[in-house]
Amino acid sequence: MKKWKCIQVHHHKNIGELIEEYQNDGWNLHTYQVTGDWLAWTAKHFLLFQKDVKDAKEVSSRGYPCPYCQVIVTLSAKSCPNCGKDLYYPTDT
């Protein structure tokens, strides 16, 4: 299963940093597109990243993937042991 994320960058100087940051998190740059109004000297840069993730059915007996870093966490975990972010799902009470 693939996960997709589209990011808008307002200035071209930030693109290299952003790509490096996402690649360090396991994302791959799929598409880069620029749109804009050349008369007004504005441009918007769009980066489409993709990441391969395991199907939730494969990991349901062990846990579920963290929505931030995709590391498998136990069903009772309230925070991810890898990235440390709090896990909240609407079914939590």
In order, the DSSP letters of the chain are -EEEEEEEESSGGGHHHHHHHHHHTT-EEEEEEEEEETTTTEEEEEEEEEEE---HHHHTTT-EE-TTT--EE-TT-SB-TTT--B---TT--
Alpha-carbon span 30 to 61, nearest angstrom: 32
User: Rounded mean pLDDT of 45-57?
Assistant: 77
In a domain, 93, yes or no: no
Shared-domain flag, residues 13 and 34: yes
- 76 has a pLDDT exceeding 50: yes
The boundaries of the domain holding residue 67 are 57-88
Higher pLDDT, 81 or 28: 28
Beta bridge partners of 33: 46
- 14 has a pLDDT exceeding 80: yes
Shared-domain flag, residues 48 and 67: no
Which of the four pLDDT bands, split at 50, 70 and 90, describes residue 29? Answer: very high
Shared-domain flag, residues 33 and 75: no
Considering the chain, what percentage of its residues have pLDDT values greater than 70? Answer: 82
Alpha-carbon span 7 to 60, nearest angstrom: 30
Does the model's pTM come out above 0.85?
no
Shared-domain flag, residues 78 and 39: no
In a domain, 69, yes or no: yes
In a domain, 68, yes or no: yes
Instruction: Report the domain count for the chain.
Output: 2
